[in-house]
Amino acid sequence: MPLHSLQRLSPTVLLGLWRLSETPADLWPLLPRAEAYRALLPATADGKRQAQWLGGRVLIHRLLAEAAPAVAAAVQVHNDPTGRPWLDGPGAELTVSLSHSGAWVAAILARGGRAGVDIEEIRDKAQRLASKFLAPAEWAAAQAACTTAAEASTHYTLLWSAKETLYKLAAQRGIIFKTQLLLGEFEPRAAGHIPATLVLSDFETRHCICYSQPSPGYVLTYCHESPA
């Protein structure tokens, strides 16, 4: 399936979604300078992981073609030692965030300001790990919000995804999810916003995390800042 959606969140920020149905062989021809990317493909990736890896880079290039067409083909997506993507080439001033889970790939491209995106397949894993990543107040609010097992799986996956997005926006090592990525109160819906606070060593910043369900069984979260 080709590009699922491309949404302009602001004059400087684009969000893209790709629903994977392609094999790696289908995706390679969609990449500019594919041979350069072959050297970057993780050697241990199986067919599914290869498709996710390739789909993410194809999606970023689609966003680049929309936001910076003059340089889109000359830019290459790399990953830093923590796994975060960055752009090498004439688009190096752009910020990119990337996520994939199951059949979905999500990417956000911003010119100025930080950005983060995360997509997650809904599972009960996040609920089992709640004590590891939720502050006590967040955990209590989640328990009060869920009355069924299905609601709990969705809600805890959403909370995990929101913290993943905030972590990607922070772009710093060593952040503790439980104490430095804090989520405020919100009314759980199919789509909405979650107030969040990023607590760093010398200051705090406030953010608004947007969320939705791009298809049954998945949650999407993203956050971006306005250019300074």
What pLDDT, on a 0 to 100 scale, did the predictor assign at position 228? Answer: 64
**Angle subtended at Cα 220 by Cα 66 and Cα 85, rounded to the nearest 5 degrees:** 55
The yes-or-no verdict on residue 73 having pLDDT over 80 is yes
Overall average pLDDT of the 56-76 stretch: 93
Nearest alpha carbon to residue 111 among 71, 166, 79: 71
Report the C-alpha gap between 158 and 134 in whole angstroms: 12
pLDDT tens readout for residues 12-57: 999 999 999 999 999 999 999 999 999 999 888 899 999 999 999 9
The yes-or-no verdict on residue 1 having pLDDT over 90 is no
Torsion of CA 216, 116, 104, 176, to 10 degrees: -80
Given a contact cutoff of 8 angstroms between Cβ atoms, the answer to whether 106 and 15 are in contact is yes
What pLDDT, on a 0 to 100 scale, did the predictor assign at position 111? Answer: 92
pLDDT tens readout for residues 134-151: 999 999 999 999 999 999
Overall average pLDDT of the 169-179 stretch: 93
Report the C-alpha gap between 169 and 188 in whole angstroms: 22
Q: What's the pLDDT band for 83 if we cut at 50, 70, 90?
A: confident
What pLDDT, on a 0 to 100 scale, did the predictor assign at position 15? Answer: 98
The yes-or-no verdict on residue 9 having pLDDT over 70 is yes
Average per-residue pLDDT for the chain: 94
What pLDDT, on a 0 to 100 scale, did the predictor assign at position 202? Answer: 81
What pLDDT, on a 0 to 100 scale, did the predictor assign at position 2? Answer: 76
Structural domains in the chain, CATH included, are 3-112 (3.90.470.20), 120-224 (no CATH)
Tell me how far CA of residue 152 lies from CA of 166, 209, 212, 220, in angstroms: 21, 20, 16, 16
Where are any strands of DSSP class E within the chain?
3-10, 13-19, 76-79, 85-88, 94-101, 104-111, 115-121, 181-183, 192-199, 204-212, 218-224
The yes-or-no verdict on residue 133 having pLDDT over 90 is yes
Overall average pLDDT of the 86-106 stretch: 92
Q: What's the pLDDT band for 112 if we cut at 50, 70, 90?
A: confident
What pLDDT, on a 0 to 100 scale, did the predictor assign at position 226? Answer: 80
Phi, psi of 213 (to 5 degrees): -120, 100
Tokens of 86: 């960055």
The yes-or-no verdict on residue 93 having pLDDT over 70 is yes
Given a contact cutoff of 8 angstroms between Cβ atoms, the answer to whether 157 and 126 are in contact is yes
